[in-house]
Structures are given as C-alpha cells and as structure tokens.
Structure 1
Amino acid sequence: MGDPLRDDSYLIGKGLTMSVLQNPLRTHLEVTGEEVFIAPPHWHLYHEEELTVVKGRVKLTQDGITRILTPADGAVSVPPGVVHNLESFPGEELSLDEIAKPSGETTEQKIIFFRNMFAPGVLQNLFSTMQVFYFGDGYPVFPLGVRRIEWAFVVVVGGWLAPLLGYQLPDKRLRLDLNRFPPSKKD
C-alpha cells in the first residue's frame, strides 16, 4: 500500500474513483454512472464531515431525513454522532469532495481510512472491515439503533477479535480517533 498523500487516485468500483486533492486537502469521489456509489448508514463519534457536490447530485440521509444535494448547496456538514449515508443516482455522473474536521490531520487520517477500507479484500471480510472502523472512528447502524451496541460491536469485533485472529490494517498509520489513539502511540 502506498502513501495516501502521494498516490493520488485509485479505483473503488466500476466507474468509481477516489482521489486525494490538495488546497484544501480532501478526498474526492468521481462516479461515472456505470455503478451506483453507496456509503451505507454509519456514524462517527469524534469527527465531522463536510461534503460538497462539485458536479451532479447525491442523496444524503442524515438521521432519517433525506436530501438531494447539488453544487448549489455548497458545503454540507455531517456532525459527529449523526447517522448518515450517501447514494449516487444510477446512470448519473457525480463529483463529490469530503473534508474531515476538526483539522488537516483529521483529513489526512480520513484519507488513510479510505485507503484501508478499499484495500483488496477488506470489504469482503467482516473482521477486516470492523478493524478499519475501529481505528477509523466509524460505526455501522444496526436495526435497533442503539449507539452503545454499535460502538461495542466495533470495539469487540474490530479492536479485539480481528487482531486475535491475525488481521492487520493494510496501512497501520490509521488513528482517526485521537482520543483513543494519541499521535504518540506506536504499533
């Protein structure tokens, strides 16, 4: 796995490309319309996401309320703790930027998160996926919607079981939750 700040784009699906852009540092999603991009319902405990549609439109659902975002909406914030998901439209092009806040370091970590999540085989394995969520401040949404259960699932499966079973992050620099993993922590 290369350095996410030097390898500036990679394919994540048919007609789906994730890139790293500078000034400001951000992740950039390009969708050609061949395949629909879906980010399933999830939430973050410590970081905020700022989404900007550059071209096209995307469906954003936040805490059960769905909006269609276009470039006219400008930057839209997804605060910590808010359940959200994204979905592109079949057959439509989309260009979308994401900045993670509160800092540039948070955005750098988010870039490493995406590189880990889209590394070969990660999404095909629950333990690998939950390990990336554990280190990347991401929590899936379960039918009951009890955040403590969702949080505990990620900690147990991604933080405890995955390492016991020999799973390792493709890029071990991922430490998005700086409260759990201070910058001085080493593997």
Structure 2
Amino acid sequence: MSTTSKRPDPYLGKIISAFEGGIITRVIDHPYDSNRVFAYEVTFHLRHPRVAAVAAQKPPLHFHPYQEEYVEVLEGRLTVEVEGVEHILSPRDGEFLLKPWCNHRLYSPVTDVQEQAKKYDDGWDGERTVFLLSGQDTDEMFRLDTVFFENWYAYQDRIVVNEEKIDLLQVMSMFDAGGSYLSLPTWIPFSRTIARGLGVVVGRWIGRMLGYQPFFEEWTTDWDLACRKMEMSVFHRRFAHREDSKGDKMRVSYAA
C-alpha cells in the first residue's frame, strides 16, 4: 500500500479532554516512528467519577480495513481485546500491533480500582493508565486521524455527561468517515465484508439522506481540514459549510 508523505499536523500539541477530564488525550509526534499518521498519549484517570461510572461498559467492537493501529502502555494496565481474546498489556510488553480487519476494542481491565489493582506485582496503584495510540498512514479517503478522534471523543462525551442515548446512525456515520466499522458476530459468513458494506450503506448513504454528518464544526479544531475531507465524498459534500461571502460561518446542524 502506498502512503502519502508526512504532512504538518495542525493538531500537534493539542489536548483533547473527555468525560469532564477523566480521559485526557495529548496529540504528539510519535517518539520513534515519524511515519505514523497520528500519535496520542492517552491517560485514563480510573478513579474519576465519570470514568468509574462506565468502567464496566466495554466500547463497541470494531475493525479498520485500511490501517494498522498500534498500542503501547506507558503506565498501568490496558486491555486490548482481539477476536474475543483479552490481552492485558503493561509497560513491559512494548508495542502491540492491531492488524487491518481484526475485530478489537480497548478498555481498562480494572472496574473496581481499590480491590483489583492490588493483584498487580509492580506497585501500580490503579490510579491511572497511560498509553500511546498511533496509526499507519494511508491514501484512503476515509481513515483514522485526529479529525475523526476529536469528533468521536466529543460524541462519547455528550452521551456520558448528558446521559443521552446512543444514536446508532450517528455512530456509523462517524465510524465510516474514520475508516472504522462496527463488528458483526464472527459466526456470520463474510461478517467483515457485510459489516463494512452496512457501514457504507447505512452510515454514508442512508445517513446522508437523513442529515447525519461525520464531523461537526463545534467539535473540530481544524474545520477547514474536516471540510476538505468531506468534500472528497459526494455524500458528505453538503455538510462542508465554509465561510459565506460575508465572512460569517454557516453553522451545521446535529441530526441525531
């Protein structure tokens, strides 16, 4: 697969806060591979009330067809579930590779900090987990990058903090634009192919007709970049509102 040349990252150094500070993501240059399209230092504050409240809930199982994703724990523990198998990573494990098309999700192995952190033998107190999350570059139009993650974190934050119901169409619209697709049970023949097809048909085609968009101006630091991405798709072009002739920004609507 060919890759694009390394582009300046307008997000470099940005801090993305979610769950009222319970999850902090810092956009960084990857410490030893400059060809990663994104790199984040992510901190889970496990005793934070917002994080503790959802500790027992796992994020959606999903896959990325186009990009390798990499996880490296710097402090504490992180569970990486791949094809139904849980891998509990620590700093001694180094970088963990998530290959394209593999069904996976990330979450803390600790749901009761005071009780469960006691079992670890390296003095970790269960206060926080810190890890590097990064991804392979790709020429694909829909891919994992900071525009996607910024909007996805903001949507999750809205659900958790405002206690709103998850809108599956909104999730599928965002995921499709981020080169990600919700996993189906693996016993279904050709489950990944079907899941990707559903993500495109429902998230991109039907979602567009119903007014769902993948990125939102109020959640996006580099709105010009988000517009350029949406303009690459005939289905998303209608949402790429830039400044009008008077210099006033045209606001976008939230369809969910």
TM-score normalised by the chain length of structure 2: 0.60
Distance across 2 between alignment mates of 1:185 and 1:85? 28
Report the AA paired with residue 31 of structure 1.
F
- Check conservation: 2:68, 2:99, Cα contact below 8 A: yes
Which residue is equivalent to 1:63? 83
Please state if 1:154 is matched with 2:199.
yes
> Helix, strand or coil for the counterpart of 2:135?
strand
- Check conservation: 2:28, 2:41, Cα contact below 8 A: yes
**Larger RCO (CA under 8 A, 6+ residues apart):** 1
Matching of residues 1-187 of structure 1 within 5 Å: 5=11, 8-13=14-19, 15-24=22-31, 25-34=38-47, 35=51, 36=55, 38-88=58-108, 89-90=110-111, 91=113, 92=126, 93-102=128-137, 109-120=144-155, 121=158, 124-143=166-185, 144-145=187-188, 146-168=191-213, 169-170=215-216, 171=220, 173=225, 185=232, 187=237
Which entry has the higher C-alpha Rg, 1 or 2? 2
Shift, 1:114, TM fit? 0.8
Please give the root-mean-square deviation of Cα atoms over the aligned residues, in Å.
3.2
Which structure has greater strand proportion? 1
Shift, 1:51, TM fit? 0.5
- Check conservation: 1:4, 1:20, Cα contact below 8 A: no
> Helix, strand or coil for the counterpart of 2:11?
coil
Which segments of 5 or more consecutive residues in structure 2 lack a partner in the other structure? Answer: 1-8, 32-37, 114-125, 160-164, 238-256
Shift, 1:142, TM fit? 2.1
Shift, 1:184, TM fit? 8.7
Moved more, 137-146 or 121-130: 121-130
Report the AA paired with residue 147 of structure 1.
R
Instruction: Report the count of equivalent residues.
Output: 178
Alpha-carbon displacement from aligned partner over 1:128-166 (angstroms, at most 9, x marks no partner): 211111111111112345112211221111111111111
Identity of aligned residues (%): 26
Which structure has greater helix proportion? 2
Which segments of 5 or more consecutive residues in structure 1 lack a partner in the other structure? Answer: 176-180
Distance across 1 between alignment mates of 2:135 and 2:173? 20
Alpha-carbon displacement from aligned partner over 1:85-143 (angstroms, at most 9, x marks no partner): 1110233310011110146x99x952111112123458832222111111111111123
